[in-house]
């Protein structure tokens, strides 16, 4: 089983050869509890992964980030698997939600290129200024998970349209790389143990009564994400690994293949760690050794 972990570590190291994205880009912010999102209240955690149960929804802000100047237009084009997730609602930060865009210039189009696509175009001829981090929120999207399993949602500039245009008339579309997020119903194993106490019979004054206790059921749910299993879902190490995945590995076909391999073998490795503290410690130490190099790659 250690060979599988070595393969995962080698895959991560190979991904370090890929240059990280830079310049203007899209950023997504899942609105976890305590994060209201929006212009002034957002925590700007810029998460690129979320786990929801089938039939449940999650809100997510989409930003245009790392802007060097004011802009007059913005927008995005979404590709997603409509058999896995659905866009339930989309409100722009144009007055529908408090924000800087001009509602008269907002254009939202469902299925512009067929099922599984969505488009938003925003504008303000008076220009919109980035915040202190160089970022501007565009819209809040509500996604629903309609089928179990992982699903990738990709954001990109609107085809055949100057999507992100600066106050200097600079069109930033050519430098904006694809931005992908992953939403999935967490790959879990649920073990159920049922015990039925034996019937008891009591005889008193010639009368026999039988009492049977109802079966008791214990259910245990096990996480299958390797980084979450080791560090926890909101740990800095987990955030770093997600950032590396989304901003380095996702930028090339080779990197996306490494991500697929990770999700293929991660449940196997987590299963091997269960009840084996020595192996769990070995895996954690291996990842700990790689983290500083990954940190350098994303900076």
Q: What is the pLDDT along the chain (299 residues), one digit of tens a residue?
A: 444 444 444 344 333 333 334 489 999 998 988 889 999 888 888 877 778 777 888 999 999 999 999 999 999 999 999 988 999 999 999 999 999 999 999 999 999 999 999 999 999 999 999 998 899 999 999 999 888 777 889 999 999 999 999 999 999 999 898 888 887 665 444 434 444 454 444 444 444 444 444 444 333 333 457 787 888 877 888 888 888 887 777 777 677 777 767 766 777 788 888 888 899 899 899 889 889 988 888 77
Q: What is the pLDDT of residue 186?
A: 53
CB under 8 Å, gap of 24 or more: what pairs does 10-17 form?
A: 11/258, 11/261, 11/262, 12/244, 12/258, 12/290, 12/294, 13/290, 13/293, 14/254, 14/258, 15/244, 15/248, 15/249, 15/255, 15/258, 15/297, 16/248, 16/293, 16/294, 16/297
Place of tokens 């609602």: 89
- Contact in structure between 13 and 291 (CB atoms under 8 Å): no
Q: Which of 248, 237, 239, 250 is nearest to 290 (CA)?
A: 237
Task: Report how far apart, in Å, the C-alpha atoms of 90 and of each of 8, 97, 116, 138, 219 are.
Answer: 37, 10, 15, 10, 37
Convert the chain into a string of H (helix), E (strand) and C (coil): CHHHHHHHHHHHHHHCCCCCCCCCEEEEEECCCCCCEHHHHCCCCCCCEEECCCCCEEEEEEEEECCCCCEEEEEEEEECCCCCEEEEEEEECCCCCCCCCCHHHCEEEECECECCEEEEEEEEEEEECCCCCCCEEEEEEEEEECCCCEEEEEEECCCCCCCCEECCCCECHHHCCCEEEEEECCCCEEEEEEECCCCEEEEECCEEEEECCCCEEEEEEECCCHHHHHHCCCCHHHHHHHHHHHHCHHHCHHHHHHHHHHHHHHHHHHHHHCCCHHHHHHHHHHHHHHHHHHHHHHC
The correct CATH number of 22-176 out of 3.90.650.10, 1.10.10.10, 2.60.40.680, 1.20.1260.10 is 2.60.40.680
CA distance 245 to 198: 53
Write down the pLDDT at residue 245: 80
Sign of the torsion angle spanned by Cα atoms 142, 176, 137, 72: negative
Helix axes 277-298, 2-15, angle to 10 degrees: 0
Question: Within the chain, which residue ranges are assigned CATH 2.60.40.680?
Answer: 22-176
The residue behind tokens 């200097």 is 168
For the whole model, what pTM was predicted? 0.59
Q: What integer pLDDT is reported at residue 253 of this predicted model?
A: 66
């Amino acid at each position: 089983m250690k060979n599988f972990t070595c393969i995962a570590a080698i895959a991560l190291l190979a991904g370090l050869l890929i240059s990280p994205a830079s310049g203007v880009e899209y950023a997504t912010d899942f609105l976890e509890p305590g994060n209201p999102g929006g212009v002034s209240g957002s925590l700007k955690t810029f998460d690129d992964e979320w786990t929801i149960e089938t039939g449940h929804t999650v809100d997510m802000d989409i930003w245009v980030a790392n802007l060097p100047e004011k802009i007059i237009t913005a927008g995005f084009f979404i590709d997603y698997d409509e058999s896995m997730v659905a866009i339930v609602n989309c409100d722009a930060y144009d007055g529908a939600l408090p924000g800087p865009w001009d509602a008269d210039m907002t254009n939202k189009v469902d299925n512009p290129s067929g099922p599984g696509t969505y488009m938003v175009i925003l504008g303000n001829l008076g220009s919109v200024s980035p915040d202190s981090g160089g970022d501007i929120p565009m819209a809040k999207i509500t996604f629903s998970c309609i089928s179990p399993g992982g699903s990738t949602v990709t954001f990109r500039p609107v085809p055949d349209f100057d999507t992100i245009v600066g106050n200097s008339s600079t069109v930033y579309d050519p430098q904006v790389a694809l931005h992908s997020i992953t939403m999935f119903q967490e790959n879990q194993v649920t073990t159920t143990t049922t015990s039925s106490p034996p019937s008891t019979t009591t005889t008193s004054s010639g009368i026999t009564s039988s009492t049977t206790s109802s079966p008791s059921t214990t259910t245990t749910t096990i996480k299958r994400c390797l980084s979450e299993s080791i560090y926890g879902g909101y740990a800095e190490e987990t955030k770093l690994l997600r950032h590396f995945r989304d901003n380095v590995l996702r930028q090339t076909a080779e990197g996306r293949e490494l991500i697929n391999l990770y999700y293929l073998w991660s449940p196997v490795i987590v299963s091997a760690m269960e009840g084996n503290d020595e192996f769990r410690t070995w895996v954690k130490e291996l990842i700990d050794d790689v983290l500083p190099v990954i940190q350098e790659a994303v900076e």
